[in-house]
Amino acid sequence: MRRLSRLDIKYSPYLYIAPFFIVFGIFGLWPLIYTLIMSMYDWDLGSKLNEATFVGFDNFARFLGDDDFWNAVLNTVMMFLLSTVPQLLLALVLANALNKKIRARTFFRMGVLVPNITSVAAVSIVFTQLYSRDFGLINWILGLVGIGPIEWQAQAWTSWIAVATMVDWRWIGYNALIYLAAMQSIPKDVYESASIDGASQSRQFWTLTVPMLRPTIIFTVIISTIGGLQLYGEPLLFAGGGNPLLGGSDRQFQTVTMFLMEQFYMDFELGQAATVAWLLFLLILIFSVINFFFTSRLQNDRPAKRKKVASR
């Protein structure tokens, strides 16, 4: 009995953490290694490793010289920028309003979070109808002020904007709640001394609140980078019928993930799809590093700005 309980104390921790490592090993780590192997083969859908031809880095070389691939990179980056920058700015503004003394707090918080529980598919379908050329609400409103009608899918810029609004609608409230949480942990006396110094409210927002939120802003920027560069469902459903994976007649809104799925679903080339997956991973890595340095460089301004306010 005592021996049993010694065994229990010694080995059960390993037993409890084992499921994670077993499942992740099979369905997370192994596919990661396998992607690298696959990317070096000419591998058709439905065949096995021994039936595929080894091609080394040919797949990588092929895509780095492929206009369609770079077009997908451009579209992805543009939609990422067009969605992330307004998204985080508006989230900050919204969080600032939610942070005031207001009635029905929970109601407002829930209200702005509702978009986030709506699925990408539902959001995209509804917005695509709102953007439809002839009977869409958005063209109707624009028509009232004499613009349009715009065929949103027809050009790169208009489709980027339309897709970006879908992403923004879904994520502004979520990010606002994250900023709100960080705002509430800022000590109030910081604002008291700034008020004594006569700093206006908007000045306090930009020179006190925003700098204090920098760690949280870095966090949301990195999360948005990882999510935004994998953009897929919104542009796919925005494309409607035909060959939606191509993202429009001239690939004007095909993202990298759609390009990946094109290799997979339309060309049945698993090796090439795996190669695009690696290139996408590199893209995410590069942008995460750039964004990290960009946002942490801003962080260094913090003490200087605070001093300026204090010395007034």
Partner 1 sequence: MKRGLGAAERMWRASPLTFFTLIGGLLLSIFPLYYMIVVATRNNDSVNKIPPPMIPGGELGSNVDRLLANESANFMTGLINSAVVATGVTISVVFFSSLAGFAFAKLRFKGRNGFMLAILVTMMVPAQLGLVPLYQMMFEWGLHNTLWSVMLPFLVSGFGVFMMRQYASQAVPDELIEAARVDGCGTFRIYWSVVLPALRPAVAVLGLFTFMDQWNSFLWPQIALGDPENPTVQLSLQRLSQGYYNDYAQVFAGTTLSVLPLLVIFILFGRQIIGGIMEGAVKA
Residue window 248-287: x/- pattern of binding to partner 1, with contact defined by CB under 8 A = ---------x--xx--x-----x--xx--xx-xx--x---
If binding is defined by CB under 8 A, does position 89 make contact with partner 1?
A: no
Is residue 42 within a helix (H) or strand (E), and if so which, with residue range?
strand 41-42
If binding is defined by CB under 8 A, does position 180 make contact with partner 1?
A: yes
Q: 41 has which bridge partners?
A: 54
The region, left, alpha or beta by phi > 0 then psi within -120 to 50, assigned to residue 247 is left
If binding is defined by CB under 8 A, does position 73 make contact with partner 1?
A: no
3 state DSSP class of 41: strand
3 state DSSP class of 33: helix
Q: Which position among 81, 137, 154, 266 is part of the footprint of partner 1 (CB under 8 A)? A: 137
If binding is defined by CB under 8 A, does position 129 make contact with partner 1?
A: yes
What's the CA gap between 228 and 280, in Å, rounded?
Answer: 12
Q: Which position among 59, 224, 230, 254 is part of the footprint of partner 1 (CB under 8 A)? A: 230
What's the CA gap between 50 and 228, in Å, rounded?
Answer: 36
DSSP assigned state of 192: H
If binding is defined by CB under 8 A, does position 233 make contact with partner 1?
A: yes
Q: 269 has which bridge partners?
A: 44
Q: At its nearest, how many Å lie between partner 1 and the CB of residue 58?
A: 17
Q: Which position among 61, 81, 89, 121 is part of the footprint of partner 1 (CB under 8 A)? A: 121
Q: Which position among 114, 146, 300, 304 is part of the footprint of partner 1 (CB under 8 A)? A: 114
Q: Which position among 6, 32, 61, 310 is part of the footprint of partner 1 (CB under 8 A)? A: 32
> Hunting for tokens 């077993």 — which residue is that?
22
Q: At its nearest, how many Å lie between partner 1 and the CB of residue 111?
A: 4
